Amino acid sequence: MAIILDGKSLSSQLKQQLTERVAALRAQGVTPGLATVLVGEDAGSRKYVAGKHRDCQEVGIASIRRELPADSSQDDVMQVIDELNADPSCTGYIVQLPLPRHMDANAILDRIDPAKDADGLHPYNLGELVLHVDGAVDTPQPCTPAGVLKLLSAYGIELAGKEVCVLGRGITIGRTIGLMMSARGVDATVTLCHTGTTDVHAHMRRADVIVAACGQAGYVQPDDVKDGAVLVDVGVSRVWDEQESRYRVHGDIDPACHAKAYAYTPNPGGVGPMTRVMLLDNVVTAAERALA
């Protein structure tokens, strides 16, 4: 039977550790604070942000909410970012994407203080990730790939010498996980596949590990997977279920692949909870660094 890489269970354990770290900080007069900047009324974004604040409450992190109407100007958002950069009660924050189309998202994200970059995606922090081939990075790291590595490590899955095929070149994981997996001490060999890759399926069939983050429900089929592979499903697609007359969440890896795998992440319940807990970890770590 394949090993189920249970991100939900592991994230609960990590939250307990975070609760203890937050208590230690509070004892020294410091309360970590996570801020969210939400522009507009996108239902998915609002739900995502609400989940972040529930997570904060669970471990004792203070919540700071900043909400602006969709017709706000870019300068309005920049002013909020400047305020959070200067606010000592905010040890980390995120600007929820997508932003309204009239805004320059990259310029707004660039304005974030890199030390308070809870997502770990500020250009400075990404640059640190590129520079440190030894993996000794002391700046916030991207939450999703950090969560994947933490999950694999918890289940004793070694990546040294393994062939890893990553599907998707998005900044959230596709373009960053290769840097983390190929760092010294991890030592995987990573192939990044995308829409311009010739014969993606051949790359998948050779891989010891497939990290699927292309956003196409069921893209990875059993014929794409070699026996004993490790399957990491990062994709999230909402697919209409005719029988139940509602949308259901599907990953990029067809569940039929699990029978061939050595280990796999369920979706939902695998990578998602790990992403959320690693964001909390970035916030708490930032508070610890500021205190040191």
- Specify whether 66 is located in the same domain as 158: no
DSSP 36-59: EEEES--HHHHHHHHHHHHHHHHH
State pTM to two decimals. 0.95
- Specify whether 110 is located in the same domain as 167: no
Check the annotation: does 178 bind a ligand.
Answer: no
- Specify whether 110 is located in the same domain as 148: no
- Specify whether 161 is located in the same domain as 109: no
Domain that holds residue 45: 29-114
How far from 238 is each of 94, 249, 250, 251, 271, CA to CA, in Å? Answer: 24, 5, 6, 9, 17
The answer to whether residue 289 is domain-embedded is no
The answer to whether residue 241 is domain-embedded is yes
Cβ-in-10-Å burial (0-12, 13-18, 19+) of 104 comes to exposed
The answer to whether residue 17 is domain-embedded is no
The pLDDT, as a whole number, for residue 48 is 87
**H-assigned helices in the chain:** 7-27, 43-59, 74-86, 105-110, 123-131, 143-154, 177-181, 200-206, 271-291
135-32-57 Cα angle (round to 5)? 110
Mean per-residue pLDDT for 118-132?
A: 95
Check the annotation: does 236 bind a ligand.
Answer: yes
The answer to whether residue 52 is domain-embedded is yes
pLDDT above 90 for 42 = no
- Specify whether 174 is located in the same domain as 228: yes
- Specify whether 160 is located in the same domain as 230: yes
Comparing CA positions, the residue from 235, 236, 228, 234 lying closest to residue 263 is 228
The answer to whether residue 278 is domain-embedded is no
Active-site amino acid positions = 52, 96, 119
Q: Share the mean pLDDT of the chain.
A: 95
pLDDT tens profile 219-256 = 999 999 999 999 999 998 888 788 888 888 899 999 99
Check the annotation: does 169 bind a ligand.
Answer: yes
- Specify whether 265 is located in the same domain as 173: yes
The answer to whether residue 119 is domain-embedded is no
Between CA 187 and CA 160 the distance in angstroms is 5
The pLDDT, as a whole number, for residue 39 is 97
- Specify whether 147 is located in the same domain as 249: yes
Number of structural domains in the chain: 2
Check the annotation: does 200 bind a ligand.
Answer: no
- Specify whether 155 is located in the same domain as 60: no
- Specify whether 106 is located in the same domain as 200: no
- Specify whether 151 is located in the same domain as 263: yes
Between CA 125 and CA 66 the distance in angstroms is 24
- Specify whether 109 is located in the same domain as 148: no
pLDDT tens profile 185-209 = 999 999 999 999 999 999 999 999 9
Between CA 250 and CA 287 the distance in angstroms is 36
**Domain of residue 104, CATH code:** 3.40.50.10860
The larger pLDDT score, comparing residue 244 to residue 166, is at 166
The answer to whether residue 68 is domain-embedded is yes
